[in-house]
Amino acid sequence: MNSAQNQIIGREKEKAVFDKLLHSDQAEFLVVYGRRRVGKTFAVRQYFQSNFVMEFSGANQEETTIQLYNFHNEYKRYAGAMAVQSKPRNWSEAFANLTDYLYTIKDKAKKRVVFIDELPWLDTPKSGLVGALDYFWNQHGSKMNNLLLIVCGSAASWIQKNLINAKGGLYNRITKRVYLKPFTLHETEKFCAARHLKFTRYQLLQLYMVMGGIPFYLKELEQGKSISQLIDQICFKTGGLLTDEFRPLYHSLFTHAENHIKIVETLVRFAYGISRKELVEKTGIPDGGTFSRAIENLIDCGFVVEIIPFGKKAKDKIFRIIDLYTIFYLKFIKGNSTNRSHTWESLASYTNYPSWAGYAFENICLLHQEQIHKKLGISGVYTQVSSWRYSGDLELEGTQVDLVIDRKDGIIHLCEAKFSSKEFLLNKEYTATLRKRRAIFEYVTKTKKAVVSTLLTTYPAIENGYYLEEIHTEVNTDDFFEKG
């Protein structure tokens, strides 16, 4: 691995895939997708740039004639004297020119990489892009054993429909796909260390709750400023990257983005998720193809998760917003952008801060299930992760568990997430609440498995008598920063 490849922080699984493709002895078609700003282009360029024989990026909301003009200019830069000088009239001609150029390259030993970034943006109405790409790959590209075609895009729904789940000529033609997720806390820590930024893990956790593990957002961090100052600068100052990121983010990813925005604006009011029926009623979006496409888009891009409650069936699933920046924007930035100093300090003193912090921390737990499983020593055990809610009746009071880990080996963890700025101390009342919740769960679900209470904490809880009486296992901040 060369020095440029070593500059990619984390992404160990993805780099292993890249390396395998680079040394493959057959034609390969790689799709890299994931939300905007997650680092797709950077990862591909850093790993494959020395093998590029053509690189091109689509432009957002440009007409086909402009896209073809841009493609042709890049093609000429790479093909040099062998390039066709006349601009192609359509995508079929553009790919024909690319094909002729690829056949002229003499070096057969080295993998030749053609990289087309933001491919979905090229698919303008009646552009003929997909058909031209289909013909290029099936007629020529797939027969060039030393060719690696990489296409990249943020619009995950377009990638899924037109490439991964294609019905036409591109059906089953993708040889490898990489869904690039945001950084984990482990990767976030490594990213900051590589940039010589020194933060404690608790500080990194606070920043992660605001912007998630999006590399482009993390690049805004500076040394020498407090967490409050950084959040003020990035989220509340005029010109701050995240001050006005919300609407451009959604409109760059989704067609008819207003439907997607309606859904997340509704879900943010229901921290623990709601059913499809409730979501349809509250958004006013008709329950049909329009709603289905929007919610599927949001799930594909990692903004929303669907959870099947414990003991329920797929039809009972609930939807929950999990994108940390979206939640922070809708809770705090929207309507509060200001150039006053200490904005975040002021907002963090409001009564809704603890509920947001607890919610954000719970989402971090959901996003770091591998680390939780690792700490519990169950990485090799089959598990089902869900939530559980009991509305109560005349006999028993209502209760809920936001994270249930149901193990195949006969144990169920009822997880309790507690965000705090210091060591957590269990008292008599809190312990009684956990014990009662466990008893209600056992009684209502009639499970025959052992049911235990597990704490998920920022700082380790103090192991007093109440702790030892009720807590079976604990996962804290240091565990969340472990490699998955």
Q: Kindly report, residue by residue over 445-479, the tens digit of the pLDDT.
A: 999 999 999 999 999 999 999 999 999 999 999 99
- pLDDT for residue 1: 60
Task: Give the other-Cβ count within 10 Å of 42's Cβ.
Answer: 16
Cα 227 to Cα 71: distance, rounded to the nearest angstrom? 43
Q: Where in the chain is the domain with CATH 1.10.10.10?
A: 246-330
pLDDT score of 4? 59
Which of 4-18, 208-222, 296-310, 403-417 is least confident? 4-18
Residues 306/310/313/317 CA torsion (nearest 10 deg) = -20
Does the pLDDT at position 164 exceed 60?
yes
Question: Taking all residues of the chain, what is their mean pLDDT, rounded to a whole number?
Answer: 93
Reduce the secondary structure of 89-124 to three states and give it as a string.
Answer: CCHHHHHHHHHHHHHHCCCCCCCEEEEEECHHHHCC
- pLDDT band of 165, cuts 50, 70, 90: confident
| DSSP three-state, residue 57 | strand
H or E stretch at 178: strand 176-179
Query: For the domain bounded by 3-179, which CATH number is listed?
Result: 3.40.50.300
At 116, list the tokens.
Answer: 């087309």
Q: What's the sign of the alpha-carbon dihedral 240, 242, 246, 252? A: positive
Residue 482: Cβ-neighbour burial (10 angstroms; 0-12, 13-18, 19+): middle
Query: What is the CATH code for 373-480?
Result: 3.40.1350.10
Ranges of CATH 3.40.1350.10 domains, the chain: 373-480
- Whether 399 and 437 have beta carbons less than 8 Å apart is answered as yes
What's residue 5's pLDDT?
A: 61
Q: Say which range, 121-125, 341-345, 410-414, has the weakest mean pLDDT.
A: 341-345
- Choosing among 3.30.70.380, 1.20.1250.20, 1.10.1040.10, 1.10.10.10, the CATH entry for 246-330 is 1.10.10.10
- Which residue in this structure is represented by tokens 């109405």? 125
